[in-house]
């Protein structure tokens, strides 16, 4: 009895499998468009690859804390790469007794020459300051 019992299920499974296989085959094959002419391999142009633009390199930077412990407001603090000519303003208008932070981008070296100008007309200069090692600038009398 068990021999006859298994036969209908085996036939049903076989029929279901064949149905699924042919259905998948028809689903993957697209019919050609009726109004479009058939393209030959010689007519088909290769798709152009999308050209990616190179990413812009971001210069490394260090965040520096500037503390004005003088009795006079700091009007401007400039940083120049050591041996360089182009100064960049990193802080402006820092009141007496106040602190602030600034992000300073650097190239090959993290050594800068600093020039500070104060509201009373005085100025201060620091030569060859490594801002990567010493991230605090304390401006004192």
Domains of the chain: 61-139 (2.60.40.2890)
Q: State how beta strands 88-94 and 74-81 pair.
A: antiparallel
Which residues lie below 8 Å from residue 116, measured CB to CB, with a gap of 6+? 74, 76, 77, 78, 123, 124, 125, 139
N-to-C CA span, the chain: 108
Q: CA-based angle 5:9:13, to the nearest 5?
A: 165
Q: What is the DSSP string of 100-118?
A: EEEEEE-SS--EEEEEEEE
With residue 20 as reference, give the H or E element that holds it.
Answer: helix 2-28
- Render each residue's pLDDT in the chain as its tens digit; 141 residues: 455 555 565 656 766 666 676 665 555 556 556 665 555 555 555 667 788 778 777 778 899 999 999 999 999 999 999 878 788 999 999 999 999 999 998 888 899 999 999 999 999 999 999 999 989 999 888
Return the closest-CA partner of residue 69 out of 116, 27, 33.
Answer: 116
Which residues lie below 8 Å from residue 25, measured CB to CB, with a gap of 6+? none
DSSP-assigned beta bridge partners for residue 80: 113
Tokens 């007794």 belong to residue? 97
């Amino acid at each position: 009895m068990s021999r006859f019992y298994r036969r209908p299920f085996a036939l049903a499974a076989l029929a279901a499998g064949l149905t699924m296989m042919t259905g998948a085959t028809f689903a993957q094959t697209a019919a050609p468009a009726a109004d479009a002419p058939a393209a030959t391999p010689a007519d088909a142009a290769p798709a152009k690859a999308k050209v990616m633009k190179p990413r812009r390199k971001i210069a490394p930077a260090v965040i520096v804390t500037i503390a004005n412990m003088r009795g006079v407001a700091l009007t401007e603090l400039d940083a120049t790469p050591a041996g360089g000519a182009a100064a960049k303003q990193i802080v402006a208008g820092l009141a007496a007794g106040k602190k602030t932070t600034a992000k300073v981008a650097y190239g090959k070296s993290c050594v800068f020459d600093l020039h500070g100008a104060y509201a009373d007309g005085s100025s201060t200069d620091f030569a060859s300051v490594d801002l990567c090692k010493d991230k605090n600038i304390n401006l004192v009398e």
